[in-house]
């Protein structure tokens, strides 16, 4: 069995993130990854370093390598970046041909089955992968790679907050985007993509982040004792 490359390992990790199989903050130890992939430490370290540059993992002297945990502000920035890139891609794209539309329809078919199924990981992966597939279908592999990385980052938020209802809503919006493309209405498709990515917080039901209370633990400990009956 050939030794996997750093690219192979990094893409396996990205796919696991997109499928919500790795939780935010999950530790990615070098030695366990070496054993899992039967790869030298140098190859594993290269894969993790690449993912660090892509904003998906972080390194800490105390914790080692771990998946990022996005704050509300970081999630907002990632979705804003996706909004700019994906609407810009739609604005510059040519009308999709029959082969492209067939591929997008096939992707929607797999999404529909996943949204109606019980495999949440597969559902999460396909809902995120649709945006990568769309970028690839519109002919820009460079932006497709960027969309993949940003989608992986936003999935670290979606894995916490996306409900079944939110997933179904997202799928319905994907269908509307492809319908607009099939109708040749690129302006409508761009508008739908913009609306889809602008309402992420509502679909994920993510509360705004509040400032942490540094005295929370002490405050609880020193609360007045209730009178005993």
- List, for residues 160-193, the tens digit of each pLDDT value: 666 778 789 899 999 999 999 999 999 999 999 9
> Does residue 29 sit within a domain?
yes
- Please return the burial class of 152, using the count of CB atoms within 10 Å of its CB with bins 0-12, 13-18 and 19+: buried
Here the CATH number for the domain that contains residue 78 is 1.20.120.530
Q: Cα 83 to the chain's mean position, in Å? A: 14
Residue 198 is predicted with a pLDDT of 87
Q: How many CA atoms lie within 13 A of 54 on its CB side?
A: 24
Question: Whole-prediction pTM value?
Answer: 0.77
Q: What is the mean pLDDT of residues 58-69?
A: 88
C-alpha dist (Å) from residue 22 to 28, 88, 203: 10, 30, 21
Query: Containing domain of residue 149, as a range?
Result: 72-204
- In the numeric block, the tokens 């502000």 are attached to 73
Residue 25 is predicted with a pLDDT of 87
> Does residue 220 sit within a domain?
no
64-67 vs 57-60, strand pairing mode? antiparallel
Backbone φ and ψ of 143, nearest 5°? -70, -30
Residue 78 is predicted with a pLDDT of 87
Cα separation, 8 vs 37, in Å, equals 10
Buried b (16+ CB within 10 A) or exposed e, 167-195: bebbbebbebbbebbbeeebebbbebbee
Residue 228 is predicted with a pLDDT of 47
Structure tokens at 54: 């892509």
Q: Which residues, in sequence order, are CB contacts of 194 under 8 Å at separation 6+?
A: 83, 87
Cα separation, 67 vs 33, in Å, equals 14
Q: Is the pLDDT of residue 127 over 80?
A: yes
Do 31 and 119 lie in one domain? The reply is no
* Angle at the Cα of 100 from the Cα atoms of 56 and 146, rounded to 5 degrees: 20
Q: Is the pLDDT of residue 120 over 60?
A: yes
Q: What is the mean pLDDT of residues 16-42?
A: 91
H or E stretch covering 66: strand 64-67
Here the CATH number for the domain that contains residue 57 is 1.10.10.10
Q: Is the pLDDT of residue 211 over 70?
A: no
Do 39 and 86 lie in one domain? The reply is no
> Does residue 30 sit within a domain?
yes
């Amino acid at each position: 069995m050939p030794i996997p490359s750093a690219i192979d390992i990094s893409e396996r990790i990205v796919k696991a993130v997109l499928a919500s199989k790795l939780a935010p903050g999950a530790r990615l130890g070098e030695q366990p990854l070496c054993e899992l992939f039967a790869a030298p430490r140098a190859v594993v370290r290269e894969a993790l370093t690449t993912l660090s540059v892509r904003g998906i993992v972080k390194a800490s002297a105390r914790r080692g390598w771990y998946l990022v945990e996005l704050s509300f502000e970081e999630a907002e920035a990632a979705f804003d970046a996706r909004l700019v890139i994906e609407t810009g891609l739609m604005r510059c794209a040519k009308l999709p041909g029959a082969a492209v539309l067939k591929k997008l329809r096939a992707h929607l078919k797999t999404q529909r089955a996943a949204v109606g199924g019980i495999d949440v990981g597969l559902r999460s992966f396909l809902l995120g992968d649709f945006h990568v597939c769309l970028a690839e279908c519109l002919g820009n592999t460079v932006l497709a790679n960027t969309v993949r990385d940003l989608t992986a980052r936003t999935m670290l938020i979606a894995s916490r907050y996306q409900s079944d209802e939110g997933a179904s809503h997202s799928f319905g919006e994907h269908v509307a985007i492809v319908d607009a493309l099939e109708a040749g209405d690129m302006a409508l498709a761009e508008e739908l993509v913009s609306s889809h990515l602008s309402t992420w917080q509502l679909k994920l039901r993510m509360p705004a982040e509040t400032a942490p209370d540094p005295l929370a633990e002490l405050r609880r400990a020193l609360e007045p004792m209730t009178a005993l009956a």
